[in-house]
A and B are shown apart, each in its own frame.
Chain A
Amino acid sequence: MSVDAATVRRIAHLARIAVTDDEVPHLQGELNAILAFVEQLSEVDVEGVEPMTSVTPMDMKKRADAVNDGEIADQIVANAPAPENHFFLVPKVVE
């Protein structure tokens, strides 16, 4: 399978990465090189094979459903690019 320019733009939008028109042909070439490389997987007979979900055979540990942390709003927003009174500011979302 290979991707066309429109698909490159669609993937970029899904990935939330702005791309310029100049970048599209280059990205298209690179993505197609990678997709051509992974194409060899279609040779493998995977009939009846379970997909791997955990590389180490172990049960997922579960924690108690209890509050064990909190009251650290200062720390939570300490690295935010636009914090205000313990809130994260973003461009207007709802008109």
Chain B
Amino acid sequence: MTDLTTLTLAQARDGLADKSFTSLELTEAHLAAMAQARALNTYVLETPDEARAMARAADEKIAKGEVGPLAGIPLGVKDLFATRGVRTTACSKILDDFTPTYESTVTTQLWRDGAVMLGKLNNDEFAMGSSNETSCFGPAVNPWRREGSDAKLVPGGSSGGSAAAVAAGLCLGATGTDTGGSIRQPAAFAGIVGIKPTYGRCSRWGIVAFASSLDQAGPFARTVRDSAILLRSMAGHDPKDTTSVDRDVPDYEAAVGRSVKGLRIGIPKEYRLDGMPQEIEKLWTQGADWLKAAGAELVEVSLPHTRYALPAYYIVAPAEASSNLARYDGVRYGARAPGGNIVEMYENTRAAGFGAEVKRRVMIGTYVLSAGYYDAYYLRAQKVRTLIKKDFEDCFAQGVHAILTPATPSAAFAIGEKAGADPVEMYLNDIFTVTVNMAGLPGIAVPAGSDAQGLPLGLQLIGRPFDEETLFSVGEVIEQAAGRFAPPRWW
């Protein structure tokens, strides 16, 4: 039998439907692959018992002809999604052994459609990071290595475990969340596809909150088609999230393979950074050429406030985080450190439970919201955000259907390489992705080439609000031209 872990999600779906194999066989193949890949530190909790029970239930349904869109498909879940009865930590010590008594809406929908949970995936603590190095479980490891080197590379972050697990064949797809690039940047680093849908497309209910006005859930998968299949199950209106949008979910898969002839694709001149590596520049031009060859019209566009997106983000996101993370007080759940009085107890609990990056961001957020600084920082950042969004609106008003940019300024870097004193250096990883969160738009990262050391590089497509379908259509053109990227197995 072929290695079931190398199938695409769509191939596995077809194989289950025509009874070539069972969900239990498919699930066992993945559980075995996970056991052999612990060096990658992708799963922070494996749930083989739940996986087998869910697979058996899926097989029974398949036998009866009741086939949900994801019937019997084994998936991994970022440890930011609350899973009933299964430890959920956000990869923070402060949540300790928190075991939710409820299930997030997104995962509820995945199980509704028949998917099988393999376990919980590593991420940066509270999704704050771009390398998965801030996780309390230690960094996840990228299955890709530089040619001729065995240095361990980061899989990106914050959804690093999800990206690494999908790339390494440890699940057929995974959930992620994206606040400033946390799906698209790791997808690019791992040579897979990741989409952050429009803000409001997926419910945030039951997802550990980082920055509520920016957070969106989305899928990781090895192909554009697979990510379209997953997003259809994850998206949809949820009365429990007042920012979720009451709007029909299209059949995203139907958009895969649709012609891009006549579509106008914008190339934003402000994304051409000084000192941008030549291979990123080349990749971008190559992507534009592929789309032109497929019949799209390429136009230069201007998004003048691009350079202010990252600094505005580093005010808005920490401000919202400082408010969201106020709930971790050692009283209702999670770890507690003792103190002589209640304030000391809070302070000791939070000092012991939060890691360095989380503390930094909570403190920055506290500062920019504090009396006397609110107008200078927070209010100004929210005004700049309005301007960033207007840049995109103006661009789409000129008839542009989607915007093509690089996904990241470089390929994956080594673990520890950016652990220098200046946190801003790490933040620059999100320079191409963060604008999309600030404007609430959908963005997809698709692998498009390799750097000189053989590491995958991705391109990003940014779409109009709620037009994920165009991103799947255009993304597939890049995928067809660039081919698939799979790391050689060394683990």
- Do A and B pair up? The answer is yes
Distance, CA A82 to CA B330, complexed state (A) = 9
Q: List the A side residues contacting B340 at CB < 8 Å.
A: 91
Closest B residue to A48 by beta carbon equals: B383
Distance, CA A37 to CA B431, complexed state (A) = 13
Chain A-chain B contacts (Cβ-Cβ < 8 Å), number: 173
Confirm or deny: B398 has a beta carbon within 8 angstroms of a beta carbon on chain A.
Answer: no
Closest A residue to B370 by beta carbon equals: A14
Q: List the B side residues contacting A93 at CB < 8 Å.
A: 341-342
Structural contact, B333 and A79, CB atoms closer than 8 A: yes
Closest A residue to B340 by beta carbon equals: A91
Q: List the B side residues contacting A5 at CB < 8 Å.
A: none
Q: List the A side residues contacting B365 at CB < 8 Å.
A: 15
Size band of the B side of the interface? 35 or more
Structural contact, B382 and A27, CB atoms closer than 8 A: no
Count of interface residues, chain A, beta-carbon cutoff 8 Å = 54
Distance, CA A8 to CA B360, complexed state (A) = 11
Q: Chain A's interface: helix, strand, loop or mixed, by majority?
A: loop
Structural contact, B360 and A30, CB atoms closer than 8 A: yes
| A41 with B384, Cβ < 8 A, contacts A56-B198, A79-B334 known | yes
Structural contact, A13 and B360, CB atoms closer than 8 A: no
Structural contact, A34 and B341, CB atoms closer than 8 A: no
B-facing mask of A33-59, CB < 8 A → 1, else 0?
Answer: 111011111101010011111111010
Structural contact, A15 and B314, CB atoms closer than 8 A: no
Q: List the A side residues contacting B347 at CB < 8 Å.
A: 13, 16-18
Confirm or deny: A60 has a beta carbon within 8 angstroms of a beta carbon on chain B.
Answer: yes
Q: Chain B's interface: helix, strand, loop or mixed, by majority?
A: helix
Q: List the A side residues contacting B305 at CB < 8 Å.
A: 44
Q: List the A side residues contacting B383 at CB < 8 Å.
A: 44, 46, 49-52
Confirm or deny: B93 has a beta carbon within 8 angstroms of a beta carbon on chain A.
Answer: no
Confirm or deny: A66 has a beta carbon within 8 angstroms of a beta carbon on chain B.
Answer: no
Q: List the B side residues contacting A82 at CB < 8 Å.
A: 336
Distance, CA A50 to CA B213, complexed state (A) = 16
Closest A residue to B421 by beta carbon equals: A29
| A44 with B387, Cβ < 8 A, contacts A55-B439, A88-B331, A91-B345 known | yes
Closest A residue to B365 by beta carbon equals: A15
Which residues of B pack against A, CB within 8 Å?
96, 98-99, 101, 198-200, 213, 239, 242-243, 245-246, 305, 307-308, 310-312, 314-315, 322, 326, 329-336, 339-348, 350-351, 354, 359-360, 362-367, 370, 373, 376-377, 379-387, 389, 421-424, 427, 438-440, 465
* 5 closest residue pairs by CB, A with B: A55-B440, A51-B382, A79-B333, A18-B351, A18-B347
10 further contact pairs, Cβ within 8 A, besides A17-B347, A46-B387, A61-B246: A19-B351, A27-B360, A27-B363, A33-B421, A37-B314, A56-B243, A58-B200, A79-B101, A80-B331, A91-B344
